[in-house]
Structure 1
Amino acid sequence: MPSYDATDALDDLFGNEEGYSSGAGAAVVTRTEAILDGPTPATSIDAVLRLADGLPSLDDVREVDDHDTSELTATELQQKEQTETVISTALAAGDAAVWVIAQGLERAAKGRWWRCTHSTLGGYVEAKIGRSAVYGRQLRKNAPLALETAHKTGTVPKPSQVKVTSKTEEQYGREAAVTLYEAVRDVSYELGAHPTADSLMAVHKSLPRQLPDEPDQQREVIVQATRRTLGVGTEAPAFESESNKSASIEAPAFESESNVDASGPGESPSGGEGEPAEVSETSSDAEDDIEDAEIVPEHLVTLKDALKTLNAVNRAVTKDVFAQAAASPDDAAEYERVRQAIITKTTAIRNKALHAPKG
C-alpha cells in the first residue's frame, strides 16, 4: 500500500468537492495497484501535486489594486502564461482521470465484482466514486467516444461535452462526432474561449440532416457549420446560411465580413492560410456616415462612437503594418506582446457584441 501521506494528500485535494468523497485517495490507490505496472500510485499522485511546483512564487506576484486596469507588464505576462500552463495541465489530468474511472467501472460491471458487497451495481458506483448510478452509466456509455476523441484530437473532453457529441455519433457516426468536437475546440480558441456543451450542441443542431460520406467533405461541412454558428467570418454571412435556424450565436453582417477576432497566426477567417480578412473600405465608410438622430439614448451613442473608432483603427492597422512591425528582429518580443494584446482586446469586444441582446 502507498504511504499515508500520498493518500491523505489526494483526499486533501479532492475530499469535499462534488464528485469526490473522503477516502477517495485510498480507493484509487488500492484499485490502481492491482492492475498497473510501472510507477506506484503514490508516485503518480505526487506527480500531479508537484504541478504546483511549476507555479511562480506567490511572493513574486505583484498585488494589484482592484481598480487597476493597466496593461500587464512583461513579468506579469510571463507569470500568467506559466500559471495558465499549470492550470491547463492539471485540468487535463483531471479530465483524463474521469475516463480512467469510467473504464474501471465498465470492468466492475462486466465482472459483477460488487455482488458480494452491494445489492446493486448502482450502489457500488455510488460508494466508489461518490456519484449517482446514472452518472456512472453515462460515463461507461460515453467512454469509448471520449477516449477516441482524446486520441485523435490530443484534448480530453469533459463528460458534459461527450454527452452532446454522443448525439452526433448516433446521427452521423463516430468520425463526425470527433470532428465536431475538434472544430468547436479550434474555433472557440480563435475566439479566445473554450469549447462548452452549449456551443457543441448549437453546432450539432446546425448540421444538415445528412453529411457527405467522403471524410474530407464531411469535415469541411462540419467546420463551416461551426464557424457560422459561433460567429466567425465565413464565405457567406451567417444570416444567409441555411443552418441559421438552429444557430445559437449569429454574427452580424459586418462582423462576418470584418472578422475582428483572434484568428491564429497564419489563419484566415475561413480556416485557410493567409491573413485575416479586413473590412471593406466602402462598408466601413458607410458605417462612419451614420448620423445620430435628434434624441438618441446615451448608450447607443456610446456604441456608435465605438463603431467609428473601430472603423478608423481597422483602416490604420493593415496587413502591411503588421508585416513591417514583425520585420524588426530587435523588437520581436515587444511586437508579439502588442499583437497578443490586440487579439485579446478585439476578441473581448467581439464576444460582448455576439452575446449582446438582439434588437
Structure 2
Amino acid sequence: MAGFDATDALDDLFGGGNTYASGAGAAVGTRTEAILDGPAPTDSIEAVLRLAEGLPSLDDVRAVDDNDTSELTEVEQHQKEQTENVISTALAAGDAAVWVIAQGLERAAKGRWWRSTHGSLGAYVEAKIGRSAVYGRQLRRNAPLALETAHKTGTVPKPSHVKATIKTEEKYGREAAVTLYEVVRDVSSELGDHPTADSLMAVHKSLPHQLPTEPDQKREVIEQATRRILGVGDSASIEAPSFESESNKSASIEALGDDGCDTTGEPTGGTETSDGADDDIQDAEIIPEHLVTLKDAVKTLNALNRAVTKDVFAQAAADPADAAEYEKVRQAIITKTTAIRNKALHAPKG
C-alpha cells in the first residue's frame, strides 16, 4: 500500500502499544500521554486518506453491463479483494476514532473544561461532537470495555456491539464480555458474516446464570452457546431466537442500537410432508428482475426442503465408511443455508 501500513495507523489512533487497563478510570488515565504525544490532527487525517492509495486505479476497473452476471475474472477478483481490504481498514479506523473521542470526553468531564464556555457538560458534548449528552455518556461508560476488547482481540468493536457486551460485563465480568465478543466474531466469520449487536445480545441472553471461573471452561460454555444461537455445528438449535434487525453499523459516531436475536440450524418453510403448494410465492403479472430472482430462490429452497428430509440425513449417516464425507456435507449445508438466512435477515425490510 505504497509504504503505508494501516495497522500502524490504527496503533497511532490508540497511541501505540501501551497496555489497556481494566478499570474505567485507569483505562482512560493510561491513554493520556499516548494521545497527547500522538500524531498531529492533520497527520492522522492524512494517514486515513492515504488508505485510498491502496485502491486499484479507477481507470483499470473494467466497466460491466448491468445485465452481466458472469463470474469475476482473476483480475477482477484481485481488485475486489484489494478494495475490500481498504474499505475494512477505513471502517476500523472510524471505529477506533470513536473510542478516541470517548477518551477525550472523559478528560473534559473530569477537568470540567466546559465550565467557562458552556452551561453543562451535555451542552459541551453536543457542541464538540454533534451528538446528545446521553450518547456522550454512553461512549465514556463503554470505552474501557471497547479498548480492552480491541487490545485483546485485535478488532475494534463498534459502539452498538459494546452496548450489547457491556451487559455481559455487568453480569459476568469483563473477561467474559471480551471472550463473548471474540467468540461471536470468530463463529460469525465461519459463516462468512460479521458479529452484530443482535447476535451478541442473543448469545448473552442464552448464557447460564453463572459461568465457570476457569477461563478455558468459560470460553467453552460461551462458544457452545454461540454455535447453538448462530446455528453452527452440533450445538445448533432448530428453535433459536430470530434476529429482527441488522445492528452491525460502523462507527462514524453511529447511534448505539437496540437489541434483538435469532437463528435456525436447518431451513424452514413447510413441513416434510407438505406438497409445497402453500409454500410457493405466487407470481405477479409484472415483477422486477431482482424480485424474480428472490422468488426463484424461494421455490428452489422449498424443493430442497422437501427433498432433504430427516430420513435422508439418517440414511446418509448410517454407513460408518462414509462418516467423514457425510459430516463434511452436513456442515456445508448448515453453513450455506445459514449464510442465505443471514443475508435475508440483514436485508432492508419492505
TM-score clears 0.5: yes
Aligned to 1:85: 85
Matches within 5 A, 1:59-208: 59-208=59-208
Give the letter for the 1:238 counterpart.
S
Pair 1:303 & 2:316 matched: no
Q: TM-score, normalised by structure 1?
A: 0.64
Find the counterpart in structure 1 of residue 56 from structure 2.
56
Tell whether the 8 Å contact from 2:232 to 2:335 is kept in structure 1 after alignment: no
Give the whole-Å Cα distance in 2 for the aligned partners of 1:121 and 1:240: 46
Query: Partner of 2:233 in structure 1?
Result: 233
Q: Is the 8 A contact 2:232 2:334 kept in 1?
A: no
Preserved contact between residue 231 and residue 354 of structure 1 (Cα < 8 Å): no
CA distance in 2, matches of 1:142, 1:207: 21
Mark the CA change 1:75 to 1:145 in structure 2 (over 3 Å): closer, same or farther: same
User: Following the alignment from structure 2 to structure 1, what is the Cα–Cα distance between the partners of residues 89 and 205?
Assistant: 31
SS of the residue 2:36 aligns to: coil
AA paired with 1:232?
Answer: V
Q: How far, CA to CA, are the matches of 1:146 and 1:294 in structure 2?
A: 48
Write the distance in 1 (CA, Å) between the matches of 2:179 and 2:45: 32
1:306 to partner: Cα distance: 3.6
Q: Any stretches of 5+ residues in structure 1 without a counterpart?
A: 1-31, 256-286, 321-341
Residues 280, 302 of structure 2: 8 Å contact kept: no
CA contact 1:203–1:225 (8 Å) conserved in 2: yes
CA distance in 2, matches of 1:51, 1:343: 36
Counting only pairs closer than 5 Å after superposition, residues 265-280 of structure 1 correspond to structure 2 as none
Residue 190 of structure 1: how far off its partner (Å): 1.2
Structure 2 residue runs of 5 or longer lacking an equivalent are 1-31, 243-259, 282-297, 317-321, 326-332
Report the 3-state secondary structure (helix = DSSP H, G, I; strand = E; otherwise coil) of the residue aligned with 2:118.
coil
Question: How far apart in 2 are the matches of 1:128 and 1:353?
Answer: 38
Between the aligned partners of 1:351 and 1:114, the Cα distance in structure 2 is 45
- Give the number of equivalent residue pairs: 268
Give, in angstroms, the shift of residue 63 of structure 1: 1.8
Please report how far the alpha carbon of residue 252 of structure 1 lies from its aligned counterpart in structure 2 after TM superposition: 3.6
Q: Does 1:216 align with 2:229?
A: no
Between the aligned partners of 2:195 and 2:54, the Cα distance in structure 1 is: 26
Q: Contact 2:191–2:335 (CA<8 Å) still a contact in 1?
A: no
1:59 Cα deviation after fit: 1.5
Amino acid at match of 1:57: S
Q: Tell me the equivalent position of 1:249.
A: 262
1:302 maps to amino acid? T
SS at match of 1:305: helix
User: Does the CA contact (< 8 Å) of 1:224 and 1:234 recur in 2?
Assistant: no
Cα distance in 2 between the residues matched to 1:351 and 1:118: 46
Does structure 2 conserve the Cα–Cα contact (< 8 Å) formed by 1:251 and 1:354? no
Q: Given that residues 249 and 355 in structure 1 are in contact (C-alpha distance below 8 angstroms), is that contact kept between their aligned partners in structure 2?
A: no
Distance of aligned partners of 1:239 and 1:141 in 2 relative to their CA distance in 1, 3 Å threshold = same
Does the aligned pair in 2 maintain the 1:169–1:176 contact within 8 Å? yes
Q: Secondary structure at the match of 2:68?
A: coil
**Judging changes above 3 Å, is the alpha-carbon distance between structure 1 residues 306 and 36 closer, same or farther for their aligned structure 2 residues?**
same
Aligned partners of 2:181, 2:120: CA distance in 1, in Å?
A: 34
How many angstroms does 1:76 deviate by? 1.1
Matched position secondary structure for 2:115 = coil
For the residues of structure 2 that align with 1:309 and 1:67, how far apart are their CA atoms? Answer: 32
* Contact 1:250/1:354 (8 A) holds in 2: no
CA spacing shift, 1:111–1:353, aligned 2, 3 Å:
closer
CA shift for structure 1 position 191: 1.2
What is the SS of the residue equivalent to 1:238? coil
SS in 1 for 2:131: coil
Kindly provide the CA deviation profile for residues 223-253 of structure 1, in whole angstroms up to 9, marking residues without a partner as x: 1101100111225x41489x99xx9324245
> Hey, what's the Cα distance between the residues in 1 that align with 2:155 and 2:301?
38
1:67-98 residue CA offsets vs partner (Å, 9 max, x unmatched): 32221111111011000110011111111111
2:147 corresponds to which letter in structure 1?
L
Larger Rg: 1
> Aligned-residue CA RMSD in angstroms?
3.9
8 Å contact 1:231–1:249 — kept in the other structure?
no
Q: Equivalents in 2 of 1:224, 1:34: separation in Å? A: 39
TM-score (norm. length: structure 2): 0.66
- Do the aligned partners of residues 209 and 71 (structure 1) sit closer, same or farther apart at CA in structure 2, a change above 3 Å counting? same
Per-residue deviation, 1:293: 3.8
